[in-house]
Amino acid sequence: MTIHNAAMGRSGGYFQMQKRLILLKVLCTKLIVVLLSLPVDAREILLTKNDMVQIQPGVWAASGVEVPKPDEELPIVGAQNTEDGVRLLRVFKGQGDINGFTGVLYDNRDRGHSSLSPNLYPNLSHLKYSSDLAANGLDFGLAGRVIFPAVVLGNSSTAMTGGAAPRSLPRLAMTSAFWRAATTALYANNHIYVYPEHRDYDAEDRFPVNWPYMIISQGSSFSDQPFLNAVALTLAALPRDTFEYLSEKRLIAPTIQMILRRNLKTVSTRADYLSGKAHPPAFDSRLIRTGRMVAQAANLRPEDTPPLVRLRVIDEDFSAAAGLAKLDERLLDTPAAIGRLWRGFAWKRELLITAEDTSAPNERPLTFEWRLLRGDPQRVWIEPQGADGRTARIRIAWHDPWTELVAHGKSFSERRVSRVDIGVFADNGVHDSAPAMISIDFPEHQVRRYTKGKDGEKRLLSIDYDASGRDAYFDPVLFWSAAWTDKARYDESGTLSGWERHHSDSGITDFVSHDPNDRTTQYEIGNGDRHIPTLRHVAE
């Protein structure tokens, strides 16, 4: 405040000045009180290379990072936080010993583009990266190169927008061997990240698998914000002993996934939870019921914790060298997600999968549910085995692409789909677990025709590979296009002997042997690990 000298020349100027100084002192005291009552910037934790230990090429453990204890003088949520569930969280805070944000770290990975406001959660520690780490991109895009000794909530509203194979961060993670492994490790170490589906789940579902390893938001930039708030409030509502138990058992991420899915607006019953309603590849933020998530978290006891389902393939006829290009069909083999690409020519395929490696963290007896989440129930057969259903034989017949109706308020649109999803759940008598998932992705860009053979079983008649000629989308990281159509030729025993190949450009038809030892014809496929990501903020 500037006090002008003109006041001194007036009658009684000295006393007027004293009054003003007293008033100023009172105002300043009130101002200090008001400022102290306002939310302050969240605490920041600076990560430097000295805090990290390399545990494998390209991956570090941030063993030197410590999350400070909450400041009890600060509110659990900021005064301006009006998210659903905030008032309920304050009630739980007043009634009992909830965890709050003890041991929780927030990791924004789009350099502030879509970041949680520090004033929303004053006691939530925000991670910052040193300039040299940021220069190497450790702060940007997909998480997984750094593992933290804390419960981590993070996000990145970015996507690969350039190059030969643009894609969202979730699809990048699904189609790269490095990122598949890194993302799986995050889930097993109490890390929860939210990424937009940016153009990969709109008119067409372009994800090759459905998995619980991240939360994928429907939309682009800022579509992740409602999920960040919902998860933040849910983490804070967990009782302290439950939070510590989940952290120690590394079950934070699957438990949050269960709570999110169980409390969607489309999920009212257990039957709903065990159906595709609760397990889309990407979530519409309009379906979040944060208040219900907070309530379920606050009432979760350690002894009721649902387990993490661990899957393993015992036997299958998906192979390491299938189709014309002899490429691997086994995209993903992890405890909570198995992914297969249908490259072979058969009408029907089979897998034998077990969940026998699943253990209850609280020694409760478990039973298992195997449910078709997406696909034609007339073409998928699931046969659980044993009294508790820990193992199942799964048979799948070929699926042509189909469409699903997508609700937009009172209007609808269509989404093209070409993937079968099966969910596996463990029931401990109190809660069903988060899903483990089995996905079979079909090459939707191919036009296949099957017919009945002499034995009555269906067999391949022809494949049109010319996706480029038909202007049909395909993922060049996983699949390929060629300017021809193959008609299968079988010998008298019904064995595939070769192909009558009709070339789209020349109109010439010739014969190509199906001899597996014939290497005269070469086929190539794009390799996702060769693509250098061009990440951009995705506001559209």
CA atoms 179, 195, 198, 438: torsion sign: positive
Question: Which residues are CB-neighbours of 63 under 8 A, at least 6 positions away?
Answer: 51, 52, 53, 149
pLDDT tens profile 87-146 = 999 999 998 889 999 999 999 999 999 999 999 999 999 999 999 999 999 999 999 999
Alpha helices (H) in 38-168, listed in sequence order: 86-95, 131-135
- The torsion defined by the Cα of 252, 254, 255 and 258, in degrees rounded to 10, comes to 160
* 87 three-class SS: helix
pLDDT for res 325: 93
Q: How many residues can be counted in the chain? A: 540
pLDDT for res 455: 82
Are the beta carbons of 536 and 140 closer than 8 angstroms?
no
Are the beta carbons of 384 and 368 closer than 8 angstroms?
yes
Are the beta carbons of 264 and 280 closer than 8 angstroms?
no
Pair of tokens at residue 353: 């999968």
- Alpha-carbon distances of 73 from 82, 86, 123, 336, rounded to whole Å: 20, 18, 10, 41
Q: Is 326 left (phi over 0), alpha (psi -120 to 50) or beta?
A: left
Is 221's pLDDT higher than 70?
Answer: yes
Q: What confidence category does residue 521 fall into, taking pLDDT thresholds of 50, 70 and 90?
A: low
Q: What is the DSSP string of 324-339?
A: TTTB--EEEEETTEEE
pLDDT for res 409: 79
Q: Is 446 exposed, middle or buried (0-12, 13-18, 19+ CB in 10 A)?
A: buried
Q: What confidence category does residue 217 fall into, taking pLDDT thresholds of 50, 70 and 90?
A: very high
pLDDT for res 514: 86
State the CB neighbour count (10 A cutoff) for residue 380: 18
Are the beta carbons of 123 and 100 closer than 8 angstroms?
yes
- Alpha-carbon distances of 28 from 23, 33, 229, 329, rounded to whole Å: 9, 9, 35, 70
